Amino acid sequence: MTQDRDSSKKIAEKIAKCLALAQSANTHEAEAALRQANALMQKYQLTVNDAAASAVTECEFKTSNQRTPAAYISALAQLIADVFACQVIAAKYVADKTGIRFIGMGTTPELAGYTFEVLQRQLTRDRRNYVTTLSRCGRATKTRRGDLFCQAWVDKIKSQVDAFASKAEQAAIDTYMQKNYHNLTTHSSKSTTFKAGDYSAWFAGQVAAKNVSLHRPLQTKFGLHLSEDKNE
């Protein structure tokens, strides 16, 4: 099964290269490449989207949760996936531990994953620092308010999401997902609800995330600017 998938991927990659050559300014080269691409697609019953999907990659990263990711971790992962035009799923990697898997074009899943790791560490650290201020609360209250703090933290940076996949990229990713993840099950993480006195936790989370940037991790590491709009 794996061998068949690898073979199909290589053929799709070859078609993608032919389609790229079909854009050549050299008319004869372009026509020959297009003929070859059409012949391969007809022979192997593949489409343009199948060829584009050969450029889709995956990267998986650990979360701080043992099983199902907390609602605020899932929300953070989805925000980052939106920024990098990726799909994101939760996947078990060892025993009951869960990882976050980013799926997208080229190197974007790796970039998304790096950003996720940096911001997850920052969020975890901010949560820990906040919870230490709750000296007169029981364990359950500390956990609940810590979760609300994190939900507010993630909510604060939502306005920074401004980059999404182009229609062509989205079609390629959708094709990849249909082929490789057609049996996914959906699980919704339960958000923490407010109780009396909890609103201070939400406010503290909003304040803590005031200067958090979704783009800074990669700007710091690579000098990249990632806030440009891709909907062109």
Q: What is the pLDDT of residues 119-141, one digit of tens each?
A: 999 999 999 999 999 988 899 99
- 93 and 42 inside one domain: no
Q: How many CB atoms lie within 10 A of CB 70?
A: 20
Model pLDDT, residue 126: 95
> What number is the average pLDDT over the span 100-115?
90
Considering the domain architecture, whether residues 28 and 68 belong to the same structural domain is answered as no
Is residue 228 in a domain? no
The neighbour count for residue 23, using CB atoms within 10 Å, is 10
Do 84 and 182 lie in one domain? The reply is yes
User: Where do runs of H (alpha helix) occur along the chain?
Assistant: 2-21, 27-44, 48-53, 71-83, 108-131, 139-156, 167-180, 199-208, 216-222
Least confident window among 103-107, 131-135, 161-165, 172-176: 161-165
Which tokens belong to 133? 């201020």
Whether 217 is in a domain gets the answer yes
Report the alpha-carbon distance of residue 8 to residue 6 in Å, rounded.
5
Q: Is residue 138 part of a domain?
A: yes
Helix axes 139-156, 108-131, angle to 10 degrees: 140
Report the predicted TM-score, pTM, of the whole model to 2 decimal places: 0.76
Q: Do both 68 and 145 map to the same domain?
A: yes
Cα–Cα dist 83/52, whole Å: 20
Q: Which residue's structure tokens are 């199902």?
A: 68
Q: How many domains is the chain partitioned into structurally?
A: 2
Neighbours of 188 (CB within 10 A): 8
Q: If DSSP codes are grouped into helix, strand and coil, which group holds residue 55?
A: coil
Contact between residue 57 and residue 105 where contact means Cβ atoms under 8 Å apart: yes
The total of other beta-carbon atoms located within 10 Å of residue 122's CB is 16
- Considering the domain architecture, whether residues 84 and 20 belong to the same structural domain is answered as no
Q: Provide the 10 A C-beta neighbour count for residue 132.
A: 9
Do 25 and 70 fall into the same domain?
Answer: no
Asked whether residue 21 falls in the same domain as residue 46, the answer is yes
pLDDT at 42: 87
Give the residue from 33, 53, 73 where a domain finishes.
53
CA distances from 131 to 18, 77, 124, 169 (A): 57, 22, 11, 42
Question: Do 77 and 13 lie in a common domain?
Answer: no
Q: Is residue 62 part of a domain?
A: yes
- Shared domain check, 45 and 64: no
Given a cut of 70, whether residue 223 has pLDDT beyond it is no
CA distances from 121 to 49, 50, 114, 132 (A): 36, 37, 11, 17
Residues 97 and 182 in one domain: yes
Q: Is residue 229 part of a domain?
A: no
Residue 105 near residue 167, CB atoms below 8 Å: no
104 and 47 share one domain: no
pLDDT, tens only, 10-68: 888 888 888 888 888 888 888 888 888 889 888 888 888 888 888 889 888 877 655 67
Whether residues 47 and 76 fall in one domain? no
Q: Residue 139 to residues 5, 135, 143, 182: CA-CA distances in angstroms?
A: 49, 10, 6, 41
pLDDT, mean of residues 98-114: 89
Range of the domain at 119: 56-222
